[in-house]
Structure formats: structure tokens, C-alpha cells
Structure 1
Amino acid sequence: MGGGSGPQGPAAGGPAPHRPVLLPEVLAALGPRAGATILDGTFGAGGYTGAMLQAGARVIGLDRDPSAEEAASRIMAAFPDAFTFRQARFGTLDAVAEALGQAPLDGVVLDIGVSSMQLDQPDRGFSFRFDGPLDMRMERDGPSAADIVNTTDETTLAAILFHLGEERESRRIARAIVADRVAKPFTRTRPLAELVGRVVRGAPKGIHPATRTFQALRIAVNDELGQLVAALEAAERVLKPGGVLAVVTFHSLEDRLVKRFLARTAGRGGAGSRHLPQVEVAAPSFTLPSGQPVLPGEAEVEANPRARSAKLRFGLRTTAAPMPSDPDLHKLIGPGRLAMER
């Protein structure tokens, strides 16, 4: 989304320097080399991109956040003949690669979620560590988190918090938000975090009670799960045989989507019921190397606490045609678009 290896919830501590998560493991999966073209769908600060360029690969960097252009300009100056950047959503990565004349690709890497840089900028409204505008828009365009909080009906708001934040107290939080916004709409991060803190009792030494609420709002504002499904299917279409799709996720919602997609496209979706008519099964479009998911080691987590929940999954493209879109995968997206489509 914003790229750059960040966690899914607001940071608990102070600002941390950018560190691409699971970098050696991602490079081992992708195998960047001279002559290969790899698309980094979540460019961020360019951590993965820089390492792949140094290995000799050509890289196409995408990021929907305009603030990524500064880092992209620096990398462009260092690798003018090997690096191309486009501001775009990674759900369109196949169209971008084709428009650049670079399809099919040797690899696609996605580092899902909000970046460290976005979390550490109070004016973006992704985190409640510091008071800032209740925004959360990666592209700085369209409806904001404040729009959702102040205009969405209680039932839909509770559904967003429950499905996208896995918040068990979603109904209580939604009820309190709807009641309080009558007197004063929510426009800043701190008042919303304080409301959730009053409604939900936090566990000692646990995450802040508002973490899941902020996660849910951010995912809804940016249609993150919908974009992830679109990107997975786009990668399947644009990768050449032997090409690698590598995805780093930071929480169960996204990992569930990636795991299901790779399992299904690798032919591990089950054989169906013997009591139902047999349906012809499409040939697998990916093979999955063993030893997945790949997790960060203790040393990386100690050096970068934001890596603690990271998981890497990857697959190798076969010669088979792309599989038909999976309707059940799209159902797992949940209500992320409900508020935005009202």
C-alpha cells in the first residue's frame, strides 16, 4: 500500500528508522539478477528496490502515496537505466508493466500495509501516538477516516471495526462514536483514541485499545484488502513461467487472503465433495516451495520490533493459464468498501 515494511497497527513506541522487513529472505525468494525485471508494488522508501538494483535486476517501483516520489528520485539518480517509478495502486501492476513494455515479469514483491514513514508523520493521521488530522489517505485524495467516522451509520461502522480490525467491542465503540459525534464531529486522532480508551479496557502491557479501530479505519479508507486481491490476481496474469510472487504481510486478515490465493492457485484448494457433480479443476498456476510462511528471526525482531508479526509467502509461476477469479476470496474482503460506496 504505502510500502516500506511497516506494521498493521499504529506504532507503540517512538519513530523508528526505516528497515525493510525480511530483506534477505525476500531476496532469496525473488533471486534478483542481471537481465531480470522485478516489480516492487509497494516501493515506500525503496528498501527492497535498492537491494534488487544492487543485485543487477531492473526494477519497476509502484506506490500510491505521492510522498514516495522523493525516495524514488534519489534511486533514479543512482540507477537511471535500471529503475522506473510510477505513482499507482498495485492492484493495477499488470497494466503498468504492460504500458511500460516490461511484461511479462520475472518477479513481483508486495510488502503489505502502512509504512514506517507514514506512521511517523502526525499530519497523515495513521497513528495516535501524536495528535493529528484524522486522515489516513495514502493517496491524499478521496474520503478520509474522519468522513467514515462522522457519516457512517452505526451498523456499518460496527461491521468495519469488527471485520477489518477484528475488534470484539466493535458495537460498543460504534455506538459511542455515533453518540459523541452529534455534539462535536471527530477531526483529530487523539479524541477518537481517547473515546475508544474509555469504552474498551486495555490489557496491562497490551496494545492500546484504539489500535484495532485505527487499523480498521485505515484499511477501509484505502480499500487495502480489495487492492491486495486485485494485486495477487494481476501478478498471476503478468508473471512469466518461473517468475516469483513474494508477499510480506503483517496481520491475519492479509495473510489469510495471500495464503488462500496461493493455496488455490497451487491446486491445494481441495477436491470438492464426492456427492456433488465433478468439476474440471484448472491446472495449478503456481508451485509453492516448502518452509512457508517464512518468519523473521529473533535478531531481526530485536533490532526492528515492527517485524515481529511479519510473514513471507511466495510462489513460482507455472506455464498454466491464470485461474478464474475466486469469488470466495473476494468475499473475505469484508465490508471495507461499504462506507465508501454509500
Structure 2
Amino acid sequence: MMAGRGTSETEAAGGPARHLPVLLHEVIEHLAPQDGGVYVDGTFGAGGYTRAILAAAECRVVAIDRDPTAIAGGQDLVTDSGGRLTLVHERFSELEDVAERLGLTGQIDGVVLDIGVSSMQIDEGERGFSFRRDGPLDMRMSKDGPSAADLVATLSETDLANLIYRFGEERHSRAVARAIVAARASAPIERTLQLADIVSKVVWAKPHEPHPATRTFQALRIAVNDELGELARALTAAERVLKPGGRLVVVTFHSLEDRIVKNFFANRAKASAGSRHLPLAASAPMSFRLVARGAVEAGEAELAVNPRARSAKLRAAARTEAPAHAPGDLSSFLPPPPEARSRR
């Protein structure tokens, strides 16, 4: 599933596949690397996509990752690339700033984003992402800022329920929040298996179904790392750095991510007619044209060797000659707050 990234329910449960780039053939097909081109791998991870891009053409790759462990692990690839790879420790939402710092503004031929947590992070219990491996309840990709344990310790029952519902789509969010608050009154919740056990007592799952803590862990991870906000900002940044004809390829692993990408491309791949109240200010030409019609999913051959690819979806579009849309409120691409949705 990755250039070492993404997480599905199977993966989070510690499936057998490790560090297999998901939809690799499809990513390269839609990115279409060319000799002399400059490409951004916004989620370097284990370097799977970066290696494939470098092998596909005599091009340059700028690879970004917010995880310092991933950057350290990629130094051998930098050496082997003969000067064609630059690794940058940064959030992918800052790729416009990265391009400017490297003197590549307006020279980017393609951007690929593989969204989510990497299997490397999940496989390391000490990172705190896994509900099957014990470790500190951390979940911070960049290893700084508030951790999942901090959120569990400080949020009110209502805020916890809203967070778990909004980012985990957990229909038992109220019961989970209630159980967490009751448990923390007796002792701090600081370990992954400790939290998984608390959730498992109020969320039931059959043996063939995802682990009961899957959605709660997903919600905390998304909140800790601002994953959906990062994705929305990265999409608009890619719009600004890509040259005309440049490709944006995004691989997602759950419905919240895919919905953001789908809505973004739908918004940018059609011309706005404006309104009778603000006909000029609201009007915007198409800044992307769709390269892939709908979502591309993994085939049976890939699923046979990498079951973690089952939830992966790829969407791709190419920049037009039109200018990027003006910066604005990104909330329309994000899931609405719980107050705006019905909840069981």
C-alpha cells in the first residue's frame, strides 16, 4: 500500500505485507514521468514510489516526509540516485514552500501523494499507532506536538465523542467516549493495548470483522496529525506548484480521505459560472482536467500479494493553463462537524 504509507483495517491489524507500494504500476502510469522532469513524492515513507519514478525516467525527484525516521532511512537512496533525489523533512502541505526554497517554482511536472500512516509506523509498537502491538499511546508522525494520550487525557466526553464520530465514523462514539472518561478517572490511559481493551468492552465485532478499536484509533491518529487538513492544504499547494500539463496523483485508504480528493477534483475540473451576486469574483476556470475517470482500484493480482491494497483508491488529474484558484476556505472539502450531521 505504500511508498510506505496508507493504512487500511487489514494493515492496522498487522497484516502480512510490509512496505509494498500500493497501485505502483497505476501511479507511474498516471504520473507519466519524463526525462528531464521534476517530480514531488509528497509522502516518501519507505521510498517505494520514489524508486519507481527514478527508474521510469532520467528525472529529478524531491521527496518529502514529516517523519524524521523516514528521512534518515532514505539517505542510502539519495546516495544511489546520483544527485537526482532530494529528501526534505517537512509536511507535504508545505510543498509550495519546499519548491520555492529549492528554486523549483513553476518547474514541477508531477506530484504524488500516498495518504495516511505508513506500515513501518504501524509495525513499530513504540510509535503508538497499532492496537495489536503494545506501546505508548503516541501516534505522532512528526514526533512533536500533543500525542493521542494527551487528547484522551484532556478532552471532555462530548469532545471525545465528536472527534471519534467525525474522524472515525464510529457509530458507538458516545459509548466509547463514556468508557474512556470512566477509565481515566481510575488511571491514566497511556498505552495502546490499554485503550484498545477499553474500546473493545463497548464495541463488539465478530471474528471476521475489523478490530473493535479500528475506528477509534483512526480518529485519534487523524486528529493528532491533522491529516485531513494537511491533505486539503496539500491539494491546493500542488495546484499552485504544478506547471501546465503537470500531473497530480493521489492514493487514499479510507472514505474520508477519498471524499476530500474527489470533491477537490470535482471542484477544480469544472469551470465556475459565478453567481448573479458575485459574477466575477466567484467565477474560476478549470485548473485541472481529470486523467482518471473515477477511482482506480487494485486488481486481483495485487490483492493476492498485498491485501492492504484492498481499500486503496487512486485519483489523478492534470493541470490546465488556467491560474490556480484563489486561496479560500477549505472547509467545503473537509467532513462537516458532528453538529451538522445526524448521529445514532
When normalised by structure 1's length, the TM-score is 0.92
Q: What is the letter of the counterpart of residue 263 of structure 1?
A: A
Partner of 1:26: 27
Spell out structure 1 runs of 4+ moving beyond 4 A. Answer: 333-336
* Counterparts of 1:229 and 1:328, CA distance in 2: 7
Cα RMSD after superposing both structures: 1.9
More moved, 28-37 vs 213-222: 28-37
Conservation of the 8 A alpha-carbon contact between 1:41 and 1:93: yes
Measured after TM superposition, the shift of residue 4 of structure 1 is: 1.8
User: How big is each residue's C-alpha offset from its partner over 1:13-39, in whole Å with a ceiling of 9 and x where there is no partner?
Assistant: 445321110001000111112100000
Q: What is the letter of the counterpart of residue 244 of structure 2?
A: P
Mapped pair 1:97 → 2:99 = yes
Q: What secondary structure, in the 3-state scheme, does the structure 2 residue paired with 1:171 have?
A: helix
When normalised by structure 2's length, the TM-score is 0.92
Q: What is the letter of the counterpart of residue 248 of structure 2?
A: L
User: How big is each residue's C-alpha offset from its partner over 1:30-81, in whole Å with a ceiling of 9 and x where there is no partner?
Assistant: 1112100000000000000011111222000000001112332011110131
Conservation of the 8 A alpha-carbon contact between 2:3 and 2:48: no
Partner of 1:309: 311
Unaligned runs of 5+ in 1: 337-342
Q: What secondary structure, in the 3-state scheme, does the structure 2 residue paired with 1:245 have?
A: strand
Identify the match of residue 251 of structure 2 among 234, 238, 248. Answer: 248
Q: What secondary structure, in the 3-state scheme, does the structure 1 residue paired with 2:12 have?
A: coil
- C-alpha change, 1:131 and 1:15, in structure 2 (3 Å) is farther
- 1:52-71 equivalences in 2 (<5 Å): 52-55=53-56, 56-71=58-73
Conservation of the 8 A alpha-carbon contact between 1:240 and 1:317: yes
- C-alpha change, 1:326 and 1:296, in structure 2 (3 Å) is farther
More moved, 277-286 vs 119-128: 277-286
Identify the match of residue 324 of structure 1 among 319, 323, 326. Answer: 326
Q: What is the letter of the counterpart of residue 89 of structure 2?
A: Q
Identify the match of residue 167 of structure 1 among 153, 165, 170. Answer: 170
* Counterparts of 2:310 and 2:164, CA distance in 1: 23
Partner of 1:6: 6
Q: What is the letter of the counterpart of residue 22 of structure 2?
A: V
Measured after TM superposition, the shift of residue 330 of structure 1 is: 4.8
- C-alpha change, 1:86 and 1:335, in structure 2 (3 Å) is farther
Unaligned runs of 5+ in 2: 339-344
Q: What is the letter of the counterpart of residue 72 of structure 1?
A: G
Partner of 1:119: 122
Q: What secondary structure, in the 3-state scheme, does the structure 2 residue paired with 1:102 have?
A: coil
* Counterparts of 2:197 and 2:337, CA distance in 1: 25
- 1:227-238 equivalences in 2 (<5 Å): 227-238=230-241
Measured after TM superposition, the shift of residue 268 of structure 1 is: 6.7
Identify the match of residue 267 of structure 1 among 267, 270, 280. Answer: 270
Count matched residues: 332
Q: What secondary structure, in the 3-state scheme, does the structure 2 residue paired with 1:248 have?
A: strand
User: How big is each residue's C-alpha offset from its partner over 1:241-300, in whole Å with a ceiling of 9 and x where there is no partner?
Assistant: 00001000000001000000111011177x688xx6473421100000243211110111
Measured after TM superposition, the shift of residue 326 of structure 1 is: 5.1
Mapped pair 1:158 → 2:169 = no
- 1:143-222 equivalences in 2 (<5 Å): 143-222=146-225
Mapped pair 1:131 → 2:134 = yes
- C-alpha change, 1:149 and 1:335, in structure 2 (3 Å) is farther
* Counterparts of 2:332 and 2:97, CA distance in 1: 20
Q: What is the letter of the counterpart of residue 28 of structure 1?
A: E
Conservation of the 8 A alpha-carbon contact between 1:8 and 1:215: no
Q: What is the letter of the counterpart of residue 53 of structure 1?
A: L
More moved, 276-285 vs 157-166: 276-285
- C-alpha change, 1:99 and 1:326, in structure 2 (3 Å) is same
- C-alpha change, 1:331 and 1:182, in structure 2 (3 Å) is farther
